[in-house]
Every structure is written in structure tokens, then in C-alpha cells.
Homo-oligomer: A and B are copies of this chain.
Amino acid sequence: MKRYRNGEIWDFEHETPVSEDRPVILGLDGGTTSTVCICMPVLPFSNPLPDPLPVLARAVAGCSNHNSVGETAARETLEQVMADALSKSGSNRSAVQAVCLAVSGVNHPTDEQRILNWLRDIFPIHVKLYVQNDAVAALASGTMGKLHGCVLIAGTGTIAYGFTEDGREARAAGAGPILGDWGSGYGIAAQALTAVVRAHDGRGPETILTNSILQELDLCSPDELIGWTYADPSWARIAALVPVVVSCAEAGDEVANKILQDSVEELALSVKAVVQKLDLCGEDGNASFPLVMVGGVLEANKRWDIGKEVVNCISEDYPGALPIRPKVTTIQFLPTISFLIFIFLFFE
């Protein structure tokens, strides 16, 4: 353990006395918009899980998807949020038994290995380390820890991830905006911005997205959108425009409506690809399987309900899909719970 790695981040370990010498676990859910880390005591596994879960501390930070903000920034965010959670709980690294990271942007064994190597540098050698794509934690959050079925995440990014009961897994999408995640919050918002540019330069139909988006961003003309867009490459900043698109669609704008309709088809297609690959619907096509729906784009808080439309679209092909929206209602708190459950799973 490099005790002085990133000096300031771990300075609290020398400044604050440890309140008690209890072993703890760090659970982290890292997304493209926000990252949440919780610190909890090591408990014997129980089913059902203790309610409420015994969270010692919780810390929140921004994007930790290395594909969006780059390796260095993502790593610093992850390290800082873990230190914050430990510091708030009155613990330090010597009390940590396990670190479980579920991070968006972990797409390949090399991504996992890179994060593991770096965690190994931060924590003592006996600490157990787990790194996964955040979709795995999200699935567990809807199935109370059981990795079976399919999860669809649609927030700033989107991914569909599935597991069979015998442990096979498959995924679709989750490749980021350059590689066609058009159903994501980023995808919806980028298409809305594009529609404004196209209406302005004569390549597309007029749309009330123009006035609504310019007003939201406090800009005077569509020409200014170019500067605004490229001034900051953060995906979450673009995706934050999704509610404007939904409002315009609800107001009857055809362009906005088409963007949301396309998003529904894209999101449903991701799920269908996973279901088909894993035969989750059984031989007759009617077997039931959990379909966990997570993320801001799928929240049922609007008249134009993207999540509901996605379920309808999936159910046409796979009537056995059992939609589950994890009960935690605020998206900000959801990742924490997701990961807690995921941790329990590992310590089963």
C-alpha cells in the first residue's frame, strides 16, 4: 500500500483518529453522470437483507467513466470518493476488507485489469478487490442480488446486460456515443441539438426544440450551439437536456416525438439482442425473466413515458419479460443500494 499516493486524498488518515477498529467494505457504483461510494460494516449474509442496510457513510462525486472524461480524471474521482466515504465513516484503509467497484466503461478484461492494478496500489495486499461493469450491480439491485435476467440502464449512457441462471452472460450497446448508443440520454439530447442545427440551416423541419433548448442554455442563436457543444466534452452535460426533449414531445412537437420514439426502439433492441443471445425467453419464447429498468431516461415521471414504451416494445416479442423498476425512487440513491446488494452477493 502506497500510504502517500495522491497525498491530499489520504491525508485524513493521519489527521483523524479512527473511531473504532471495525472491519468495513467499500461499495462503489460509478456512472457517467455521478459516482456513489458507500462504506458499510462486514456482516454475516442474511436473506432477506437487513432493512435498512447498515450504511456507515456515503459519498458522492461526478463522472468516473474513463471513456467520457479520460483515465486520469476517472481514477482521481474514484479514489477521492472512496477516501471521502472512509473518512466520513471514521475508518481508514487499514479497516477495509473488500472493495467492490461497479463502473460504467468497464467493457473489456483490460479495463478491469487496469483498475485492479491501480486499486492494488492503494489498498493493503489482503483486501479483496472486485471490478465489474455497473450494469451487473444494477441487475442485482432489481433482483435482490440474484444474477438472472436482463437489466437495461438508460441514463447518460445505455447498456443492456443479461445473465442466465447457469452463469452465461451477454451484453448489447454500452459502447458510448461515438459507437451508436443512440437510445441513451446523451443520444436523445445530441439528436435534439442536431435537429435544431438542421432546422436552422435548412436541412430539417422546424421544431420547438429550437426555442426550448436555446432558452434552457441561455443562448441567442442556433449558431451558438456549436461553441456550447464543443466547449466541454462531458457526456452528462449534453444528456442533461433530455427533460427539454420530453417536454417538447409532450407539447406535440413531431421532431422531438420522433427522437423519443427512435430511442424507445433502440433501447428495446438492445434488450431483445441480449434476450435472444441468452435464450432468456425459453424454447417456446414465452418463458418469464426479470427485466430490470434503471436510469433517468426510464423514470416514469412524465406523460411521455419512455420506460413504459420500451417495455411495450419488448413485450411484443417477449411476453415473458417481467419489468422491475427497483423500489428506490431517487436516482441519486439508487446506485448505492444497487451496490450494497451486489456486495452481499459476493460475500454470500
Contacts and interface: CB of A to CB of B under 8 A. Distances in A.
A179 B229 contact: yes
Contacts of A282: none
A233 interface: yes
Q: Which of A173, A178, A224 has the most chain B CB within a 10 Å cutoff?
A: A178
Contact of A273 (B202, B230, B238, B273): B202
B270 A226 contact: no
A68 B230 CA distance: 8
Chain A: interface secondary structure? helix
A178 B230 contact: yes
A107 interface: yes
A111 interface: yes
Contacts of A108: 223-224, 226-227
Nearest to A233: B233
Indicate how many identical chains form the complex: 2
Contacts of A115: none
Contacts of A25: none
Nearest to A111: B227
Interface residues of A, number: 41
B202 A179 contact: no
Contacts of A225: 175, 179
Interface string A92-126: 00000000000000011011000000000000000
Given A67-B226, A193-B178, A238-B178, A203 B273 contact: yes
A78 to B, nearest CB: 17
B202 A276 contact: yes
Given A175-B197, A203-B269, A273-B201, A223 B107 contact: yes
Contacts of A175: 194, 197, 225-226, 229
